[in-house]
Amino acid sequence: MIIRLTLRRIGLGLAALLLGGLLVGWSGVIYVGASGGHWPVTEWFLHWVMRNSVRTRALALEVPDLSGPALLDRGAGHYATGCAPCHGAPGERQNPIVQASLPPPPEFSKRFDPWKPEELFRIVQHGVRYSGMPAWVAIERHDEIWAMVAFLEKLPRMPQDEYQRLAFGPEGARQPSSGLIGIGAINTGGPAPPAQEALADCARCHGMDGRGRENDAFPVLAGQSEAYLREALLAFSHGTRHSGLMQPPAARADDAILGQIATHYARQPFAPVPHPPAETALLEEGERIARQGIPAEGVPACLSCHGGAALARNPSYPALHGQHASYLENQLVQWQAGTRGGGPYRDLMGTIAGRLSPEQNKAVAAWFARQDKASD
Ligand code: HEC
Ligand code: HEC
Ligand code: HEC
């Protein structure tokens, strides 16, 4: 018997399939529990699709230079609280609750598939749908995601003591936080106890003294005004300033505690950071922009807001002197890309940064980094 295919019959067939699907879904026979796992064929199929998707979407990506200790410090610092609770870490076992999820996150000290750096970037940036693997909190912050990739590349061969030094800081500010091991607060002699525990989290990356690490992984907080620090923290916590590294720790503490931590860091003695060599011509250009601005481009003198007198007048403006040049430059780049955000005065700076060229970013950042006090 020959059944002639007509549009009407195809339509009816599809409608019957749809109805059948709805009936099966409605009947409740499909098992959605996480116990028991997938059939091997389902598991193979899901991973095959995931791998192909990641590989194809990573094709156009260019891998930047991933060497240098600062990237490892940033990646490890975030991994300890953002990833280790699911993936485990050197010396930290995976929690049995996590192992009972479907699919279970791979425990990286036991299984780490040979992904290329650009593929890791895609996975960390966008996460994996239907698996519990989250996307990066600020997906537009490519610089942060590459730092995580640099760390992941080293993770499978990383000894426990190196991991702990990178993730918890040279002061060993806090115990690992995998959920199997309790979170220990340290006695800081500073703010009240609830703030101490939150501060111990900050100190892993910024140090108790707010000077960060020996390298330029983290911005200097010591001696920055209390008002600016508080507004920056609230901006991270409420999502108007974008950073996958800073939004989570800021959101872990409530607003009152963030205020106490801002007071703590504002009281730490300021000490300028060591700065890399820079050419005289570059520094001269930087000084010119800082003192006079670029009138032809409508750029005001930076010191009219970031100089000593202006800082005393409006403590919500940040001090730039003695800050890491790489940090200052990167903030300008983030504004230019539309990804910085910030506190209540962020639009002022967004407009100004938008008028600087990459060379001018570099020059003015290098000049400010070398100043050990606020000039007017
Ligand atoms: C809530 C738990 C959870 C958190 C938090 C989490 N992941 Fe995952 N991750 C998963 C799961 C589940 C998978 C497995 C996905 C799959 O099988 O397709 C996964 C897969 C991955 C993979 C691919 C591994 C492979 O070989 O298939 C990488 C890489 C990865 N995660 C990195 C990270 C990083 C980096 C972080 C922190 C920024 C992180 N994950 C945070 C649950 C998590
Ligand atoms: C995982 C490491 C890490 C932890 C933990 C961390 N920070 Fe940060 N912090 C950073 C990085 C990286 C930046 C730079 C963010 C950027 O590039 O936008 C930063 C930026 C900041 C800034 C903005 C500085 C400026 O000049 O604008 C403040 C303020 C700050 N952190 C305070 C804190 C406080 C308070 C805590 C604890 C509640 C904390 N941080 C926890 C890594 C960390
Ligand atoms: C009209 C006042 C004003 C002028 C002029 C100004 N800024 Fe700013 N700048 C701000 C404010 C306000 C912020 C804080 C924005 C926020 O995070 O909410 C800021 C933040 C910054 C930051 C980020 C600091 C940090 O710790 O994250 C950099 C870098 C910066 N400015 C560079 C410059 C440079 C370079 C110039 C000159 C070309 C300049 N600014 C001129 C007001 C100004």
Tokens of 320: 């730039």
| CATH class for the domain made up of 53-168 | mainly alpha
**Ligand 2 atom nearest to 318, measured from its CA:** 26
Note the pLDDT of residue 31: 87
The ligand minimizing its distance to the Cα of 266 is 2
pLDDT at 2: 74
Name residues of the chain where pLDDT drops below 50. Answer: 174-188
CATH topology of domain 193-267: Cytochrome Bc1 Complex; Chain D, domain 2 (1.10.760)
Please identify, by atom number, the ligand 2 atom nearest to the C-alpha of residue 199.
Answer: 37
Buried b (16+ CB within 10 A) or exposed e, 314-342: ebebbbbbbbbbbbbbbbbbbbbeebbbb
Hey, CA dihedral for 365, 367, 372, 374, is it positive or negative?
Answer: negative
Q: 177 and 239 in contact (C-beta within 8 Å)?
A: no
Instruction: Select from 87, 107, 158, 163 the residue to mutate for testing ligand 1; criterion: most ligand atoms less than 8 Å from CB.
Output: 87
Query: Which ligand 2 atom is at minimum distance from the Cα of 243?
Result: 18
Residue 97 CA to ligand 1 center (angstroms) comes to 15
Secondary structure (3-state) at 92:
strand
Coil vs helix vs strand at 147: helix
Query: What is the predicted pLDDT for the residue at 110?
Result: 85
pLDDT for 172: 66
The finding on whether 200 has its CB within 6 A of some atom of ligand 2 is no
Can you tell me the distance from the alpha carbon of 232 to that of 10, in angstroms, rounded to the nearest whole number?
Answer: 60
pLDDT at 175 (0 to 100) = 44
CATH class of the domain comprising 280-369: mainly alpha
pLDDT score for 194: 72
- Residue 193: predicted pLDDT: 66
User: Would 193-267 and 280-369 be classified into the same CATH topology?
Assistant: yes
State residue 275's pLDDT score: 82
Query: Domain coordinates of the chain in residue numbers?
Result: 53-168, 193-267, 280-369
Provide CB contacts within 8 A for 343, sequence distance 6+. 228, 231, 232, 234, 235, 240, 241, 316
Say which ligand is closest to the CA of 334. 2
